Structure 1
Amino acid sequence: MARSSLVAPKRATKKAKGRKGPPPKQHAARKRTTSRPRRPRGLLGWLALPFLWLFRLTFRLAWRGALVMVLILGLAVGYVYTTLPAVTALLDGRARGSVTMLDRYGEVFAWRGEQFGGQISSTTVSPYLGDAIVATEDRRFYMHPGVDPIGIASAVKINLAEGRGPLSGHGGSTITQQTAKLLCLGTPYDPDVWENETAYESDCRETSLWRKVREAVYAMAMEVKYTKAEILTIYMNRAFLGAGSRGFEAAAQRYFGKSANEVDPAEAAMLAGLLVAPTRYAPTADLERSQNRADVVINLMEQQDYLTAAEAQFARDNPARLSAAAEARAGGYFADWVMSAGPDFLTRKTTEDVIIRTTFDPRIQTAAEQALAEVFRTKVSEGSKAQSAVVVMSSDGAVRAMVGGRKFKGVAGQFNRAIQAKRQTGSAFKPFIYAAALNQGYTPNDTVTDEPLTINIPGSGPWSPENYDRKFRGPVTLTQALENSLNIPAVKVSEGVGRDTVREIAEGFGIDSDLAAGPSLALGVSESTLIEMTGAYAGILNGGSAVEPYGILELRMQGDDEVLIGQDGGLGDRVISQDAAEQLVYMMNKVIEEGTGTRARLGDRPAAGKTGTTQAARDAWFLGFTADYVGGVWMGYDDNTPLTGVTGGGLPAEIWHEVMTRVHEGLPVHPLPMRTPAPAAVQTADTQGESVPVYDGTVPEYDGTVARSENDRLIGRVPEQQGSGNVAEQIINDVLGTIFGRN
């Protein structure tokens, strides 16, 4: 038994050793898995082999390349991270400062420059505002790392579908990327590098592929450096929102007169809606368009559960409205004038925030605008391109209102006809002629003969002015000559007192334009601006002292009580005596009560003024005053086209009447500072024993003699050569006077 037990194993061993053929199946399979790859089977396998190899190579290169790119990106993000400053240093990035203008009562009425309302935080503003911004600009803001691949892919798809380039139109930028763009990727504005701020901002908005890559890196660095709340804070403070508003606080103050901390859902939606196109959707440009855009934002807020259905519907039913100052847009032309009146470094080119207290009166401005609109609506043909300008000031030159044209489009820098348009004044110049005569001792009752007149102009020949109606009235008082705007008496008086004297008086009252040298000076052929003429009439009202129109009361830096610039303008030197001024006021009162300006009457309120019409009615004026305010109106075409059927005593007088009626509403009636002369008989007298003939129209040239009144005051002889020494200039002006002799 023991033996057999030993034999059996031995046989088994021999058999195993002597076996030929393949190894056991299980063992063979194990060997194949650990040896070379399986060879391809069949023709398809051989054909697929190179593609399989290429895929494996590409995959290996791709993940290695991706690893390198991630490493490079990480280094780039890390580098930008080290350059980012604290959040507080990024909130006010304006290259220019702002100018805030206050009216005479201390209320804000206009802004210029880049308005920055002060630093705000996304954690303290109205929650509706942050929600509106996120819902509109970046719904995945709180989920992405600064770049949103889903948003980019969607934007590219939309751009291609709309026929644009992949990077044109919709950008798919996140709020973080937009903030990076607002920061110009950390590059500050340098006037030595960029021609101006516009060129700088254009460079910051570049949309090249390389710029997008840099923007993405900067955005991701910001996500590492700052919290989401801090990024949103930077964005809220730097975004431009139209009408010179930089940041949501400035925009909320500009449009709604409240802080961004207090806006309701409708106001928040309107502000957020501005981000897509600030100038186009600014409510000051088109309120209805801005409200429609706000409705889109409200719908997005409702869809993303930032507003309940009831809240959204209430916001749609009660859209945001402009504040009173923003809605009125009052004083646009006035504000432009103030900006031009102050020094550039504190107004148009200021880098600081400036506060200017002005003479502006919003009530009077509204009165002027409404009156002008009413007359054009009811008495001017629809579609007419005729223009008009209005200035209202106090007797000391404090400008209360200014309308530089029929329509102010809400854009600073428009052509302001009240201060920029130099036009011939026509008969509106005549008060300065009579002021010169009265200042020399003549009275309103002194006489001059209205008759045919010829003056021989050396080197030019005879000049014969005519009255507007081509009629002659014989002996008339100075008062009658002015109230009926007679040309021949005005020329005689001007020649009698001396043209140099007339020019001196006009310049003393503030007419700075180059005044004509010849006798046509008396017919208003010289040019002036409406604000100059209105200021000159203010000098007559205040007793004969010069007036320089002014609009600035004081200028200071925001947050600083120190006044840098005080009032610049007001009363100046005396030009004519108070007696002469009061007599002239009487004569000008007769213009409104009985003469060419009767359409300007203000009922029981005394007023004085003068009409003015130039040749072919290219310009029509009415200027006048009450005891309280001085008003000036000009009407004409910008291209100098003649007006049809318009004289200074027509539409301009009616505009003046409408303006002053509204301006004086509710004010007590005050008497004019005028002196009524004693009646005087009209007669012809002798001078130094010589007979002074009355013109019979037959003499070939003017010898300087005129009729005088019983008080023995003569509007004296005229030297044959008078005026400037520039003969050529005198001849030119006198030739022009021939053309414009009818007034």
Structure 2
Amino acid sequence: MRWARDRVRQVQIVGLGLVLAAGVVRAEDLPSFAQTRGGHPVSDLQLLDRRGEPLQILRMNPDRRVLPWVPLEQMSPSLLRAMLLSEDQRFYQHSGVDWSAVASSAWGNLWNTRTRGASTVTMQLAGLLDEDLAARGGRSLRQKLGQAWVAGRLEKRWTKAQILEGYLNRVPLRGELIGVPAASQVLFGKRPGGLDGRESAMLAAMLRAPNASPDVISSRACGVLQAMGQACVGLADEVGAVLRRKPLTVADAPQWAPHYARLALKAGGPATQRSTLDAVWQRHAVQTLRRHLSELAGRQVEDGAVLVLDNASGEVRVWVGSSGSQLSEAAQVDHVLARRQPGSTLKPFLYELAIERRLITAASLLDDSPAQVATAAGLYLPQNYDKHYRGWISARAALGNSLNVPAVRLSLMLTPEAVFERLNALGLQLPETGGFYGHSLALGSADVTLLALTNAYRALANGGRHGEVRLPGIAGSARSRAVADAKASFIVGDILADNNARALTFGLSSALALPFPASVKTGTSKDMRDNWCIGWSSRYTVGVWVGNSSGEAMQQVSGVSGAAPVWREVMLALHAGQTPAAPVPPVGVLAQDTRFDGQQEPERREWFLAGTEQAVIRRSADAPTLSNPTDGAIYALDPDIPPAAQRLRFSHEGRLDDGAVASWRLNGRVIGRGATLDWLPMPGRHELALLDGRGRVLRQVRFEVRGAGLRGPAGKTPGTATGAHVKSQAVAARPSPG
């Protein structure tokens, strides 16, 4: 009778404690099952592709490993059985607190601060949902009472299945592992639905003491297995092997898009995000880039990036920011967003602008001969990549073969400021000014990102309309604005798709030649530090960069050998089984059969803006050009040569109309006639004009002569020379190869 009175007194005290605990946790403060599942604090961002296929797992919380919520029906039946045998055998009979367990285990076993005892799964879940009720070095009596009260409330608001599901997804298991999904993946390399009886028994043993020794875990797991009617033979060795596995990683975690996943993480949003990437193409691009860079081993190149944009929507289909840690020492750098010099990949925008302004046509003849461009620092001497010059050449061939000198001459016609404004309108976001870059901007002296440059090419693919790329966290739209002329963009795209137009430099069977219509341009920056290949079909624009994150130069790797093979393989994969449509010429573009008189260019059907078409292209061989001096040249008198022996020769090439003889006018006064004239130079700044037979100015330049001290006899003060055998003080800038 005394025993019964003690139990009644204990129950009365428990009841009083539950009343007190009710003041700690109110019923309305309890989260619903939907709220708990929706707010599940996962530690890893899971990036999915556009169809829902996993692409990347990215760790967000370094202290806890919590994977996405797994529904109860996707848990192994063996796991459910083992867990209930270990923790709560009367789970389906009690209403949150197992009072029969309380009676059988006595007061201390339920309320002891250091034992779990008769704590039910529901009570344990209460501690997982409310930090104030969680154990920190053992539960206090207040926490135990609070858990019991909350457990009763949970049983009224949640179903048994929901309680089990919540518990298995939130319970700590070992070390940093929270929840069965994380423990199953890390410890056993499988999803919760694939756990067998022995694995389930191990996890069930960890529930009571997550960080117990292997011997304790093995002993408890054996007890669970025996309760399930299974033998324990070899279990201790299995437990030891599982707990020794290091490092703890998620098995089969996809690692195909780490840089894009970081963008998604930075943008915020849910832990599981569906992207616009295509898993098949993303994996193919990663593997292609790595394979090709491996083939270039020994040429000092280790980094690369690939970007694929959908022309219509601006969505990203492929984003490969690096070649990976096995090849690169800078694998964490996202080279899609890193600024590098683009080399000749800026030339198409120059030609588009010049055609748009009707300064040239695709058939216009451009001068590919040595040029000297005056700058504030002296003379800029652009050179072609192969150091050879083709003379007069059509704009189509000049762009197709990526010749530098004609591009610089176009920049002179357009001005660097106009080129700068157009490039920024296309989204390149150049940080300086047109004057800062000067005419070298035509050859890619500014730094740009692969993302911005590829999207600028996408604008050409879309008829000159520029639209933003749709990135994580940006609710972008397909809206775009006209930046470049659609007709000129079409003509430039046609040039870049013409395999014959680039044959002089690249041959007819390069990686740029595809079996379907595609426009493409390569580029190589100064000293071979960067390789680019960017081009488009009617559906996609693909950009590839190859180089070194450190900025070190590659060895004998150009755009066509470095980036172009990767571009080709990606383009072929994008269009496997389908042929993209050929571009349709916009209204205002006309096709004209054109022949070239006196040129080494074949007759062809050429595209023109309406009103600029020509059937015959001629260059007058008599057109005079001033070969010396060049505009902006600076000359110094030589103190070692007697004044009378010093002369500056004026010369021109070509004949004047009607056989007339050219005249030379210096500083407003005619000083002689003929193809050449030797002039006794005088210090100062001068203006020289070449005149035709009627006195009209054909060419005009400005130059400067600087005085020099004469070296006289020993002990005498040197004087100033008045004659001149001149030395040019020109500053040469090495051009970027095409």
TM over 0.5: yes
Aligned partner of 2:32 in structure 1 is 89
Aligned partner of 2:5 in structure 1 is none
How far apart, CA to CA, are the structure 1 residues paired with 2:218 and 2:569? 43
One-letter identity of the residue aligned with 1:639: S
> Which of the pair has more CA radius of gyration?
1
How far apart, CA to CA, are the structure 1 residues paired with 2:264 and 2:15? 53
1:479 lines up with 2:425 in the alignment:
no
Query: Contact (CA 8 Å) 1:599, 1:657: kept in 2 or not?
Result: no
Give 1:381 shift.
Answer: 5.2
Give 1:81 shift.
Answer: 5.2
Give 1:420 shift.
Answer: 2.2
1:548 lines up with 2:468 in the alignment:
yes
Q: Pick one of 443, 451, 456 that aligns with 2:361.
A: 443
Aligned partner of 2:21 in structure 1 is 80
1:433 lines up with 2:350 in the alignment:
yes
How far apart, CA to CA, are the structure 2 residues paired with 1:637 and 1:593? 29
Within-5 A mapping of 1:600-679: 600-668=511-579, 670-672=581-583, 678-679=594-595
Give 1:612 shift.
Answer: 1.2
Q: Pick one of 730, 734, 738 that aligns with 2:733.
A: 738
Aligned partner of 2:371 in structure 1 is 453
One-letter identity of the residue aligned with 1:665: A
Within-5 A mapping of 1:647-726: 647-668=558-579, 670-672=581-583, 678-681=594-597, 682=599, 691-693=623-625, 695=627, 701=633
How far apart, CA to CA, are the structure 1 residues paired with 2:549 and 2:203? 38
Within-5 A mapping of 1:410-559: 415=332, 417-441=334-358, 442-458=360-376, 460-514=377-431, 517=434, 518-550=438-470
Q: Assess, with a 3 A threshold, how the Cα gap between structure 1 residues 107 and 125 changes in structure 2: closer, same or farther.
A: closer
Give 1:542 shift.
Answer: 2.5
Give 1:424 shift.
Answer: 1.4
* SS of match in other structure, 2:392: strand
Give 1:389 shift.
Answer: 0.9
Q: Assess, with a 3 A threshold, how the Cα gap between structure 1 residues 685 and 100 changes in structure 2: closer, same or farther.
A: same
One-letter identity of the residue aligned with 1:581: F
* SS of match in other structure, 1:548: coil
Percent identical residues: 24
How far apart, CA to CA, are the structure 2 residues paired with 1:403 and 1:718? 52
Q: Pick one of 225, 232, 252 that aligns with 1:303.
A: 225
Query: Contact (CA 8 Å) 2:48, 2:272: kept in 1 or not?
Result: no
Aligned partner of 1:595 in structure 2 is 505
Q: Pick one of 465, 478, 481 that aligns with 1:572.
A: 481
How far apart, CA to CA, are the structure 2 residues paired with 1:272 and 1:138? 13
How far apart, CA to CA, are the structure 2 residues paired with 1:718 and 1:493? 19
Within-5 A mapping of 1:363-378: 363-378=280-295
Give 1:586 shift.
Answer: 1.8
* SS of match in other structure, 2:398: helix
Which structure shows the bigger proportion of residues in helix conformation? 1
How far apart, CA to CA, are the structure 2 residues paired with 1:550 and 1:706? 55
Aligned partner of 1:4 in structure 2 is none
* SS of match in other structure, 2:594: coil
Give 1:443 shift.
Answer: 1.7
* SS of match in other structure, 1:578: helix
Aligned partner of 1:394 in structure 2 is 310
* SS of match in other structure, 2:481: strand
Query: Contact (CA 8 Å) 1:537, 1:623: kept in 2 or not?
Result: yes
Aligned partner of 1:723 in structure 2 is none
One-letter identity of the residue aligned with 2:195: P
In the superposition, the TM-score normalised over structure 2's length comes to 0.59
How far apart, CA to CA, are the structure 1 residues paired with 2:258 and 2:194? 28
- With 656-665 and 676-685 compared, the bigger mean Cα shift is at 676-685
Give 1:530 shift.
Answer: 1.0
Give 1:548 shift.
Answer: 2.5
How far apart, CA to CA, are the structure 1 residues paired with 2:204 and 2:384? 60
How far apart, CA to CA, are the structure 1 residues paired with 2:700 and 2:281? 46
Q: Assess, with a 3 A threshold, how the Cα gap between structure 1 residues 109 and 443 changes in structure 2: closer, same or farther.
A: same
Query: Contact (CA 8 Å) 1:592, 1:601: kept in 2 or not?
Result: no
Query: Contact (CA 8 Å) 1:609, 1:623: kept in 2 or not?
Result: yes
Q: Pick one of 108, 111, 129 that aligns with 1:183.
A: 129
Q: Assess, with a 3 A threshold, how the Cα gap between structure 1 residues 469 and 432 changes in structure 2: closer, same or farther.
A: same
Q: Assess, with a 3 A threshold, how the Cα gap between structure 1 residues 132 and 645 changes in structure 2: closer, same or farther.
A: farther
Aligned partner of 1:287 in structure 2 is none
1:235 lines up with 2:178 in the alignment:
no
1:130 lines up with 2:80 in the alignment:
yes
Q: Assess, with a 3 A threshold, how the Cα gap between structure 1 residues 595 and 679 changes in structure 2: closer, same or farther.
A: farther
Q: Assess, with a 3 A threshold, how the Cα gap between structure 1 residues 220 and 388 changes in structure 2: closer, same or farther.
A: same
- With 221-230 and 268-277 compared, the bigger mean Cα shift is at 268-277
* SS of match in other structure, 1:612: strand
One-letter identity of the residue aligned with 2:21: V
Give 1:483 shift.
Answer: 2.7
How far apart, CA to CA, are the structure 2 residues paired with 1:297 and 1:670? 69
How far apart, CA to CA, are the structure 2 residues paired with 1:718 and 1:620? 39
Query: Contact (CA 8 Å) 2:630, 2:701: kept in 1 or not?
Result: no
How far apart, CA to CA, are the structure 2 residues paired with 1:664 and 1:85? 59
How far apart, CA to CA, are the structure 2 residues paired with 1:437 and 1:73? 89
How far apart, CA to CA, are the structure 2 residues paired with 1:664 and 1:394? 12
Give 1:736 shift.
Answer: 12
* SS of match in other structure, 1:490: helix
How far apart, CA to CA, are the structure 2 residues paired with 1:491 and 1:223? 79
Q: Deviations over 1:587-620 (max 9, x none)?
A: 4534765534864235432332111111222221
How far apart, CA to CA, are the structure 1 residues paired with 2:408 and 2:12? 92
How far apart, CA to CA, are the structure 1 residues paired with 2:167 and 2:106? 16
Query: Contact (CA 8 Å) 2:169, 2:181: kept in 1 or not?
Result: yes
One-letter identity of the residue aligned with 1:127: P
Q: Assess, with a 3 A threshold, how the Cα gap between structure 1 residues 439 and 701 changes in structure 2: closer, same or farther.
A: farther
Q: Assess, with a 3 A threshold, how the Cα gap between structure 1 residues 130 and 540 changes in structure 2: closer, same or farther.
A: same
How far apart, CA to CA, are the structure 2 residues paired with 1:583 and 1:272? 67
Within-5 A mapping of 1:13-412: 79-80=20-21, 82=23, 83=25, 85=27, 89=32, 92-93=35-36, 103-104=49-50, 126-131=76-81, 133=83, 179=125, 182-186=128-132, 232-239=164-171, 263-266=193-196, 269=199, 303-306=225-228, 308=230, 328=254, 331-337=257-263, 348=268, 359-380=276-297, 386-396=302-312, 397-407=314-324
How far apart, CA to CA, are the structure 2 residues paired with 1:589 and 1:364? 27
How far apart, CA to CA, are the structure 2 residues paired with 1:445 and 1:268? 78
* SS of match in other structure, 2:563: helix
How far apart, CA to CA, are the structure 1 residues paired with 2:349 and 2:625? 27
* SS of match in other structure, 1:366: helix
Query: Contact (CA 8 Å) 2:400, 2:495: kept in 1 or not?
Result: no
Which structure shows the bigger proportion of residues in strand conformation? 2
Query: Contact (CA 8 Å) 1:541, 1:585: kept in 2 or not?
Result: no
Give 1:430 shift.
Answer: 1.2
One-letter identity of the residue aligned with 1:499: P
One-letter identity of the residue aligned with 2:383: E
Gaps of 5+ in 1: 1-67, 157-172, 188-203, 278-294, 320-324, 556-564, 708-715, 721-734
Query: Contact (CA 8 Å) 1:104, 1:359: kept in 2 or not?
Result: yes
Give 1:92 shift.
Answer: 4.0
In the superposition, the TM-score normalised over structure 1's length comes to 0.59
The structure with higher relative contact order (CA 8 Å, sep 6+) is 1
Q: Assess, with a 3 A threshold, how the Cα gap between structure 1 residues 364 and 446 changes in structure 2: closer, same or farther.
A: same
Q: Assess, with a 3 A threshold, how the Cα gap between structure 1 residues 651 and 259 changes in structure 2: closer, same or farther.
A: closer
Query: Contact (CA 8 Å) 1:252, 1:271: kept in 2 or not?
Result: no
Q: Assess, with a 3 A threshold, how the Cα gap between structure 1 residues 373 and 149 changes in structure 2: closer, same or farther.
A: farther
Q: Deviations over 1:2-61 (max 9, x none)?
A: xxxxxxxxxxxxxxxxxxxxxxxxxxxxxxxxxxxxxxxxxxxxxxxxxxxxxxxxxxxx
